[in-house]
Structure 1
Amino acid sequence: MPAPGSAPQVPERPGGAPYAIRPGRPGDRPPPSEFDGLFRDSGGADETQQLPQFGPDVPQPPSPPSGGHGGGGGGRRRMSRGMLIGVVVAGCALAGLAAGAVLSMGGDDDKKKNDTTLSDSSPSAEQSSEPADPAEPQAKALDALLADSNNSRASVIKAVDNIKSCKDLTTAASDLRTAAGQRNDLVTRLGKLSVDKLPDNARLTASLTKAWKSSARADNEYAAWADQTGGKRGCHKGKARRTPRVGAAERASGEATQAKKTASGLWNPIASRYGLTTHEATEL
């Protein structure tokens, strides 16, 4: 019998726990030592560790299995180092793919822009690369030479007329020799020009050369006639006597005229093509 005022004794159940204590179930058993270590490392059950937030594209770590003493809370409080490293690597990989996509899109835009620029500039490049007509500068150079070919014509005609009438014979002879020198100078200048791109350039240069040389020979023959006319018996009643010098001058002048006709026929089409000065035979 218990003493008055004392707590009643609970009889023990044979071979088991006392009647007031419910036998433990699997879920009520003490946690394994590993879980106990986790709680100790994390500072206790009251200290909750914050996990990083993940976007919708980053793989979520697997949820720890439910059940067990503190099973759900333990998984939220701590992740393994390997899992954290995997999450970081996955995030870096996704960031790298996104950056690569942006760069790729930018590269495509730059390529299209460059292609458009090249396409737009292609006609200009082709136009600038087209070579100019190589015959045009040669034609212009020859045109400048031909402009000087007729400078002495008036003085030659006047000198010959003076000889025929026995006037100013000394001046006439001087003017004729000066004209001959000018004709020979034209031949020298022509030989220094490049005319290989002009049509039928060989015949053109040969005709001009013959024309000017023949004219120079005719001028010198007329100048010699002026000398003869100024001598004894050179004039008769105000008129110069005809001598062999006159015949030689006339033959050379005829040769010059024929050559000038040929040269004029070859030059004028070239002059018309490039907008240059055309010349009649008598103007060369």
Structure 2
Amino acid sequence: MTPISGSPQSGYYQPLKPGRGRLLVPLTVIVVVLVIASTVIAVVKLTGNSDGGTPVADTSDRSVVAPTTTAAVPPTTSTPTDGPAVDPKAQAAAVDAVLDASISSRKKLNDAIDLVNKCSFLDKAIGDMQTVGTERQSQIDSVSKFDLSGIPEGEQVRAALKEALGFSLAADKSFVPWGQAELSSGCNGGGDGYYDEAQRQSKNATDAKNRFLGVWNPVASRYGLRTRSSNDI
């Protein structure tokens, strides 16, 4: 450049170095582009929105692992089914059926005793007594296996009935040798000791039946079954 007037003045104008102005502009543009790009990337990371919609800020704390949805739901509980539902009326009816069977056994035994006392049909009488013993044992075994869990007094009923049936079985086991002694002697005695023991066990059975009925009759009445006397067992 040439000054407007006068001779050139040393140090007043320093010519620009060639090319410097051209470099400054592109570098500035690059920096601006990088800043914009960094800003866009940061926004995308924050919002997770890449479809161009309205960005929504992500306010979750990524340093904490969120619990799974199942942990927030209380576990489902279920009642185990170990078998059919307890029916106390059906359980009481099973006991009542044994009492009916016991009546049949008792009648059969009394009829056999009557035959021996009359000294008639002794073989049949002894056979019936032996059958009664088998029936009594079967009744005791049945009562032992019954499920009486639905009856509040269930175990009392079981124990009292087994005791009564047990004394009846003991009486029957003494009546059999008494009948056999009568048969072998031609009805001339010889079995009196067996007879006396049978009568003693029969009395024990009657007392046990009355104790049983003290527990059983309220149960029978509760479940619509008939109440009984000692002669009805």
TM-score range normalised by the length of the shorter chain: 0.5 to 0.7
1:67-216 matches, within 5 Å, as 134-216=87-169
Unaligned ranges ≥5, structure 1:
1-131
Q: Tell me how far apart the structure 1 counterparts of residues 97 and 178 of structure 2 sit (CA, whole Å).
A: 33
Change (3 A) 1:134 1:158: closer
Q: CA deviation at 1:249?
A: 0.5
Q: TM-score, normalised by structure 2?
A: 0.59
Detail structure 1 runs of 4+ shifted over 3 Å in the superposition: none
Structure 2 counterpart of 1:260: 209
1:230 aligned residue (174, 183, 206): 183
The Cα offsets for residues 170-209 of structure 1, whole Å up to 9 and x where unpaired, read as 1111101101111110111111111133233332211111
Q: Tell me how far apart the structure 2 counterparts of residues 142 and 158 of structure 1 sit (CA, whole Å).
A: 25
Q: CA RMSD in A?
A: 1.9
Unaligned ranges ≥5, structure 2:
1-84
Q: TM-score, normalised by structure 1?
A: 0.49
Q: Tell me how far apart the structure 2 counterparts of residues 178 and 193 of structure 1 sit (CA, whole Å).
A: 23
Q: CA deviation at 1:227?
A: 0.5
The Cα offsets for residues 72-130 of structure 1, whole Å up to 9 and x where unpaired, read as xxxxxxxxxxxxxxxxxxxxxxxxxxxxxxxxxxxxxxxxxxxxxxxxxxxxxxxxxxx
**How many residue pairs get matched?**
149
Q: Tell me how far apart the structure 1 counterparts of residues 195 and 110 of structure 2 sit (CA, whole Å).
A: 14
% same residue: 32
- Please say if 1:272 is aligned against 2:221: yes
Q: Tell me how far apart the structure 1 counterparts of residues 162 and 216 of structure 2 sit (CA, whole Å).
A: 13
1:280 maps to amino acid: S
Q: Which has the higher contact order (CA 8 A, sep 6+)?
A: 2
Q: CA deviation at 1:141?
A: 2.4
